[in-house]
Amino acid sequence: MTRRLLGLWLGLSLCHAPVWAQHPHETRTYDFFGLTGGLADGLDPTTLKPSEANDLQNIVFDTSGGIEKRGGSARINTTAACGSEAMTGLFMYRQSDGDRFLLAVCANDTLLRMTYGSGTTGPDGAWSAITGSLSFVINQDHLADFATVQDVAIIEDGLNTTPPFVYTGSGNATSLQASDSDVPNASIVEFHNRILWVAGRSDARSRLDFSNLDNYTVWTNTDFLLVETDDNQVITGLKSAFDCLYVFKTESIHRVCGRDRDNLRMEQMVSGVGAASNSAIQVVNNRLMFLTSQGDIALYDGGLNLQFISFKISGTLNAATVNFNRFQYARSAFLDDSEFYLSLSTVSSNTHDLILMYDIDVGAWTKFSGLNANSMAIYEIGTQQHAVIFGDDGGFALRYPTGNSDNGAAIDAFYQSGHLRLDLPHRKLFRELQVFIRQEGAFSITIEHRVDFAATGTTSSISLAGASALWDSAIWDAASHGDITTAIRRIIIDTPGDFFQWRIRDNSTNQAFLLRGLSLWVEEIMG
């Protein structure tokens, strides 16, 4: 080799060799914000997006894109009602003159009323019996149903062998059958197009009866529709929507349109999919949302389009987790055009110890524990201010959300990510996790990180205080920043691996935490 060529070869070699020697690693930062993908335990955890959770509990989604520990619940009545048995139905009854009442049906065979204070005051906390001479025998699984018709409340105790009851706002409730002997027995009531409709009678489970137009007290014994009596199904729900009455059966959906007996027309809209429970059907932003008899949750536009929205949470909605035999007792409520709540029983439970919540705004699921919602409704805590009210299995009605505990009991909240491989094909060195969290006084929460499918990982307790520093071998504080009082915490990892998972948890009665996001610093291991 000539001296000129040898010099060129050495020059090129030296030009490349120092680049590898001086920069053997490439450091990247991965930001995990917008954590509103929700629960996705029906998907493989290695395929989840950074915004989705492999598991979570008692977590809600913040408007900032962060995740937050849900609010607490508190009893409205401080002394147990219902003979300390379950509340099987709750309803807010408003009259045209502005008078408001909470109504309840109880498993000790009583009807209750709670009045409101004046002005913007909420319910006064005292239940009064309005059962009067009515007689019925129910248990915690009879689904009470309600409707407001011409300024009176129609109450159905859930028994298919009794007629509906009537409450006018004073005195005791009475039987609707007292005004007309032709009033049929029923377990479901719905007011639609100035007609009271009932279904679920014990001797005709596919029959739909209706009152006279503009007179719920008058019934003609020939005014009924038979809804596919030979399909081996029963009517499971009624819902007024889109100017028609929708009739849900076990595995089909029908609709009845028209305004009086002379122009009623009925047609089947959906075959193969029906509702499990009347109490689990809601009108959600111009669509019907319901629990199907097969254990899916569907959105239906009232025409021919039906969409299943529960595939991501099939890890929760399966026979190993929830009690399929109790789908027929599911309850639901819809709060302020944004949150759909569904109360179910876990696999070994006979009470409603699991709530699934679908956040309409972000299109994501979460789940709650610690709330035993045997009945559920939306009510006013003041003028035009709404909250969810739960009736438990011990005679208490509870408001949600309020406070930081469930009537004094701690709320166990956690969020767990999927197994994140990021976009680096090679083995990585996970350097540091940076946590952006709202400042919350002097409280602390737990952060855990795991590498390569480890069953347990490294746990760190981090302070939510914004000004006080927290020093140890792994964590230090960068104080609070800006007007939104965000505390920044850093956790040193220095662990090689392929997959990374993080988990945040708090099981105290402290203030709810708000995690705005995280940043993960990673170095690619090459060679």
pLDDT over 70, % of the chain: 91
* Residue 303 banded pLDDT, cuts 50, 70, 90: very high
> Strand runs (DSSP E) across 143-292, as ranges?
145-149, 152-156, 165-167, 174-175, 188-192, 195-199, 207-212, 215-226, 235-241, 244-249, 252-257, 265-271, 281-283, 288-291
Are 503 and 53 in contact, with CB atoms under 8 Å apart?
Answer: no
- The 10s digit of each residue's pLDDT in 399-438 is 999 999 999 999 999 999 999 999 887 789 999 999 999 9
Give residue 484's pLDDT: 59
Cα→Cα distances 369→20, 316, 372, 414, Å: 53, 13, 8, 11
pLDDT > 90? residue 477:
no
Which residue type is seen at 410? A
Pick the closest to residue 354 from 382, 325, 331, 388 (CA basis): 331
Exposed e or buried b for every residue in 162-182, given b needs 16+ CB within 10 A?
A: bbbbbbebeebbbbbbeebee
For residues 307-319, give the mean pLDDT.
97
Please tell me what DSSP assigns to residue 486: E
* SS3 category, 36: coil
The rounded distance, in Å, linking the Cα atoms of 106 and 453 is: 48
- The 10s digit of each residue's pLDDT in 158-188 is 999 999 999 999 999 999 999 999 999 999 9
Tell me the residue length of the chain.
527
The rounded distance, in Å, linking the Cα atoms of 241 and 93 is: 20
Helix/strand/coil (H, E, C) string of 401-453?
CCCCCECCECCCEEEEECCECCCCCCCEEEEEEEEEEECCCCCEEEEEEEECC
* SS3 category, 182: coil
Which residue type is seen at 316? T
The rounded distance, in Å, linking the Cα atoms of 303 and 183 is: 31
pLDDT > 70? residue 475:
no
- The 10s digit of each residue's pLDDT in 321-379 is 999 999 999 999 999 999 999 999 999 999 999 999 999 999 999 999 999 999 999 99
Threshold 0.85, pTM exceeds: yes
Give residue 25's pLDDT: 58
